[in-house]
Structure 1
Amino acid sequence: MSLHDDNKQGLVEWCKRGEPMIWLNAAAVTVSTLAVIGLLLLLAVRGFGHFWPASVVQAQYNLPGETSVPILAERVEEESVPIEQLLSAGFKINADEPFVKRELVKVGNRDVGGADFQWVITRHLEDPSYPIDAVVVERREWGNFYGFLREVKEQGQVVANAEQDGDKAWSAFIDRIERASDIHDKIAKIEKKDIGSINYQFEKLRLQERGLALDTDLDASRRQEIEADIALSRAELDIQYKALQAQLADLYTQWNRDSFTIETSGGQLREQALATVVKAYRPNAMHLGQKVVFYFQKFAEFLTDEPREANTEGGIFPAIFGTVIMVLIMSVLVTPFGVVAAVYLREYAKQGLMTRIVRIAVNNLAGVPSIVYGVFGLGFFIYFLGAEMDKALFAEALPAPTFGTPGLLWASVTLALLTLPVVIVATEEGLARIPRNLREGSLALGATKAETLWRVVLPMASPAMMTGLILAVARAAGEVAPLMLVGVVKLAPSLPVDGNFPYFHLDQKFMHLGFHIYDVGFQSPNVEAARPLVYATALLLVVIIALLNLSAVALRNHLREKYKSLEM
């Protein structure tokens, strides 16, 4: 036999052993794993790198035939572009090479120049330097301000001059920023918690009066007694409200006491109130340890603060909270209904044509576009069920809706309906894998069918139920389209949990990480500022889904180990 025949025979034997499919599957798994890792690394580098305090460069920007412009900015990214593209965009540069390097720099000072970001040609940046006294001021409005601190003022009087004593001026500046931040926190607490609670009590009294007006059968003496109690409660609340208003007025006076003067790269002096400042720092004067501490502080603010500046600044805690709460409520709703439906179809329903039609319908529901569920939730849950609940339970609040409007409850119910087919199918498959002899053995020992189901079948099928729940959570946490119709908003002024009875308000609208990504990425007026937040929020959404799934996986593995002995 020739060498060619031996090779041919060996190839045939190799294929018969299934080696090509093994290598093909291994390659597919490898490519998929590398793609997932690459995606996560891209999100992490592009997103979490945003919180690092970048150095601030000062330079002169000279374009041929144009006036030299001073620049003080952070370097964001750089790229090489064809010279024709720049010429067509109106840049006046010498066309002596096919590609030119340009940089995107964050110049800030939007209230001065009108734009936060600017593209510059790298080779036209002259005399770049990194002055240690360059200041980055993070403001509550108008984004960052870049410049040089000149004066710190108290009630219009200069208390520190940077040109005379830079360190003293910087210390006074930081101390007054911290003071203003503390006052801001006190103001926010009074406005949101204390005054918010009083306004809530006022609204309850108003609804109580409205309810009295609608109750025509109430005894006159009892009506007068209730009206007197309402008037007394309102008078007490008025006293508390006026006291809080006086306290707020005093805090606002203190808050607006201090100001500072800062010089732009172009030499303009701008005086701003310290009440507008969130944080100020000098990145060029920071050593590595200070930058690391600053990075983790910024990342913690991203996780715990509320958004501001059209969601392009601040944190995303309300979106994190809304996403987790919605998924938990959805899980509580979908699991019992999915399990009960699967148990009926597998254990009790007569296996005939109708049962097969129901199973086909359930499988088809899993493929219905999510926006269809959103439209159904809007029409049935909100406009019909919610409106009827308002008529029956909250008539005194009408025409203002209570549950007849999008909110957390209807968003959770809609997603529960969306993921119900997944739970039903997974639970049915788990029930089908339970050996028949276990059921027969339980019945032979005198247990009823319900006892067998409750004590033997369902515990052994619990890992399959958890698998269905894992798949449901993975799908529901990332859905956006239906939520836009049934409860999610761009910015929720308060969390659905507070100190007012019933403490957990299912009728309130809420924020969601998926919708937050869509809003910041596609609806933001400041695209360049929003881009890193899109990456960071997307990675955070993946991490939250992974944590929810890992929790369910751990519970499933525990149940699987617990009931493994029954399968033997």
Structure 2
Amino acid sequence: MKEWWKSGSPWIWLNGGAVSISIIMVFGLLTLILVRGFGHFWPHAVVEFSYEMPGQERVQVIGELRRSETLTGQALREAGVPLPQAQLLATRHLFKLGNRDVTGRDFSYYIDDFMGEWRYPRDMAVLERREWGDFYGRPLRILEGTVVVAEGEAVWDELQARIKRTTSLFDEIRRIERHEIGNINFRLERVRLDQRRAELRDTLTPELERDFAGRRAALNQEYAVLQERLDKLIAEAQRDSLVMLVAGGREVTIRMDRIVKAWQPNNMSIPSKVVFYAKTFFDFIFGYPREANTEGGIFPAIFGTVTMVLVMSIIVTPFGVLAAIYLREYAKQGPLLRTIRISVYNLAGVPSIVFGVFGLGFFVYVMGGGIDRIFYPEALPAPTFGTPGLFWASLTLALLTLPVVIVSTEEGLARIPSTIRQGSLALGATKGETLWKVVVPLATPAMMTGLILAIARAAGEVAPLMLVGVVKLAPTLPIDGNFPFVHLERKIMHLGFHIYDVGFQSPHAEAAEALVYATALILVLLIVMLNLTAITIRNHLREKYRAESD
């Protein structure tokens, strides 16, 4: 045994076991995210049953089963459930009831002992609404104004056609509000700023003032035309309505423009469920959030995350590479350089929230405020760059990941054999030519490795971004058709903050649980895609310069 301990084998087995446990935990976490995330989009069966607790009247329940758990009878009795004293265990089921505007709650637990037979009616429908969450019930009839246009078996086909019509109208309304009216508001603001700038410079002449008034009047005329068209579209969208029969026999009327889509999960075949699943997943990726981010899609968060990472990469790469080249190739080796290196290494261990506080204090208030005073005085007191935004979030993350790029680039430069440098110098090349034409290209894969690590960390950061530009809901994307097209001053959404907000700030925790897993899945996939892109570029460069060196 002593010889075995002296051989070092126990430590090898210990390290191997630790690595194996880590890999198992990582794959377990990814499997949980995949199962819960992808399962969010599958059309679950709708259950109908009666429920009667002792001393209470019987009620009808309609909903989707979310999970089941077995608890001790004592725990349930303490919670007020009238179970027999001799009963040791009992099962309770969590159902999503929907119909929040009718019942006042989305989810509820039901004890298995008091539940009647579970039925799966084929005519049971689920409605995804633009507000108030999902709705469960049986479609009875469709109204056009106050006139019944379909009922009975004809309701379902007519319902799909009417939803398609109102969805088209809704998309047109949103397009006008977000793009055309948004563009007019942008141009009106430009007119106001131009006039204010002329006032500050004492160049506002009567001719200029008339010109500004004319531009403003023309834009207001465009707005009036769009508003009239918008009112007509809204009136058309609100024309139709659907009458649903809910649990308990009550009839509820729902306006058709509030319905996103409708489906009958108990009446769907496997192929139709797969098609529905794909469409729902597509809508989740490219849709906009609703209901305090607990419903709808996450496209603004994906777009904001990718844009921020790209801007961060553009900033951190040249600064990190140039700093590493100076430290390795030009700086005089000595105590000062060692102190700088130690500082860089320690900078990598500073908590990210500290970078956020620094970014808010220096980048936003000092630099942003200075930019506003020098270049945008006409917009004051409303800040342009003196407020958290995309550029400051990217710059903060660039500072956060700068040590990673510096260290990786330095290690790559250190691995280049001195004989290559000497050979280049022997052929007559200067030190600068040797560095930029021989050494740096060979160290490019190491630089890309640093960038890959920076992207992986930046894409998942949340704490500093809450202070320097990421918000719960951004009204517009940072890129649009208005000059200068890329608006670095705008606030953005981010997948990491979206997960935090939905998971911990949502008023409907149970409804948000599945969305948290789905968003986490998209964030993981996005990071993997960004890293794979960078790894592919790195491998291409490695093979390219290896072939050239051969």
Residue in structure 1 matched with residue 396 of structure 2 by the alignment: 414
Q: Which amino acid aligns with 1:58?
A: E
Residue in 2 aligned with 1:46?
36
Hey, what does 1:3 align to over in structure 2?
none
Q: Judge conservation of contact 1:322–1:512 (CA < 8 Å) in 2.
A: yes
Indicate which of 252, 258, 277 corresponds to 1:276: 258
Corresponding residue pairs, total: 550
What does residue 478 of structure 1 align with?
Answer: 460
Which 4+ stretches in 1 moved above 6 angstroms? none
Q: What CA distance in whole angstroms lies between the structure 2 residues aligned with 1:231 and 1:408?
A: 33
Report if aligned partners of 1:151, 1:161 keep a CA contact under 8 Å in 2. Answer: yes
Q: Which moved more, 1:522-531 or 1:86-95?
A: 86-95
Taking the aligned partners of 2:117 and 2:67, their CA distance within structure 1 comes to: 19
- The C-alpha deviation readout for 1:92-121, integer Å capped at 9, x for no partner, is 222433111110001111111111000001
Deviation at 1:330, TM superposition (A): 0.5
Among 444, 447, 455, which residue is 2:437 paired with?
455
Deviations 1:8-55 (A, max 9, x none): 7xx948974x65555444433332222222111111111211111111
- Counterpart residue number, 1:399: 381
Q: Percent identity?
A: 56
Counterpart for residue 173 of structure 2: 187
Structure whose CA Rg is larger: 1
Gaps of 5+ in 2: none
The 2-side partners of 1:249 and 1:13 are apart by 84
Equivalent residue, structure 1, for 2:156: 170
Which ranges in structure 1 are unaligned for 5 or more consecutive residues?
1-7
**TM superposition shift of 1:266:** 0.6
Give the corresponding residue for 1:383: 365
8 Å CA contact 1:63, 1:93 repeated in 2: no
Cα distance in 2 between the residues matched to 1:559 and 1:420? 22
Is it true that 1:148 corresponds to 2:138 in the alignment? yes
- The residue identity in structure 1 corresponding to 2:170 is H
CA distances 1:346-392 after superposition (whole Å, capped 9, x unpaired): 11111111111111111110000000000000000000000010011
Note the alpha carbon deviations across 1:154-213, whole angstroms, 9 max, x for none. 011111122xxx2x1111111111111110000001111111111111110011111111
The secondary structure found in structure 2 opposite 1:289 is helix
Task: State how far apart, in whole Å, the 1-side matches of 2:49 and 2:224 are.
Answer: 54
Give the one of 316, 332, 343 matched to 1:361: 343
In 1, are the aligned partners of 2:408 and 2:447 still within 8 Å (CA)? yes
Structure 1 distance, partners of 2:291, 2:484, is 32
Distance 1:13 1:276, change over 3 A: closer
Query: Is 1:201–2:187 an aligned residue pair?
Result: yes
Q: Are residues 1:70 and 2:60 paired? A: yes
Asked if 1:487 is matched to 2:469, the reply is: yes
| Alpha-carbon distance, 1:78 to partner | 0.4
Contact 2:371 2:386 in 1 (8 A): yes
Write the distance in 1 (CA, Å) between the matches of 2:4 and 2:501. Answer: 57
1:228 and 2:210 are equivalent in the alignment: yes
C-alpha distance in 2 between matches for 1:437 and 1:356: 25
Shift of residue 269, structure 1, vs aligned partner: 1.0
**Which residue of 1 is the match for residue 231 of structure 2?**
249
**Deviation, structure 1 residue 270:** 1.0
TM-score by length of 2: 0.97
Q: What is the CA deviation profile of residues 53-95 of structure 1, one whole-angstrom value per residue up to 9, with x for unaligned ones?
A: 1111111011122111110111111010111111111112224
Contact preservation (8 Å) 1:151, 1:261: yes
TM-score (norm 1): 0.94
Alignment CA distance shift 1:138-1:95 (3 Å): farther
Give the CA deviation at 1:487.
Answer: 0.3
Partner of 1:110: 100
Residue 322 of structure 1 contacts residue 510 of structure 1 at CA under 8 Å; is this kept in 2?
yes
In structure 1, C-alpha distance between the alignment counterparts of 2:141 and 2:524, rounded to whole Å = 46
CA contact (8 A) 2:4 2:10 kept: no
Given that 1:65 and 1:92 are in contact with CA atoms closer than 8 Å, whether structure 2 keeps it comes out as no
Whether 1:323 and 2:283 are equivalent positions in the alignment is no
Which secondary structure state, in structure 1, belongs to the residue aligned with residue 262 of structure 2? strand
1:293 to partner: Cα distance: 0.9
Matches within 5 A, 1:16-165: 16=7, 19-162=9-152
Q: What is the distance in 2 between the residues matched to 1:310 and 1:417?
A: 32
Given that 1:108 and 1:116 are in contact with CA atoms closer than 8 Å, whether structure 2 keeps it comes out as yes
Letter of the 2:271 counterpart: G
Q: Provide the secondary structure at the position in 2 that maps to 1:491.
A: coil
Q: Distance in 1 between matches of 2:108 and 2:329?
A: 67
Q: Within 2, Cα distance between the matches of 1:84 and 1:14?
A: 51
Q: Report the secondary structure of 1:251's partner residue.
A: helix
- SS at structure 2 position matched to 1:128: coil
C-alpha distance in 2 between matches for 1:170 and 1:285: 12
Residue equivalent to 1:215? 201
Contact 2:408 2:450 survives alignment (8 Å) = yes
1:58 alignment partner, SS class:
strand
For 1:301 and 1:531, the matched residues in 2 are separated by: 18
* Structure 1, 480-489 or 135-144: larger mean CA deviation: 135-144
3-state SS, counterpart of residue 103 of structure 1: strand
Q: Conserved in 2, the CA contact under 8 Å of 1:64 and 1:93?
A: no
Describe the SS at the equivalent of 1:270: strand
Using the alignment, how far apart are the partners of 1:345 and 1:225 within structure 2? 59
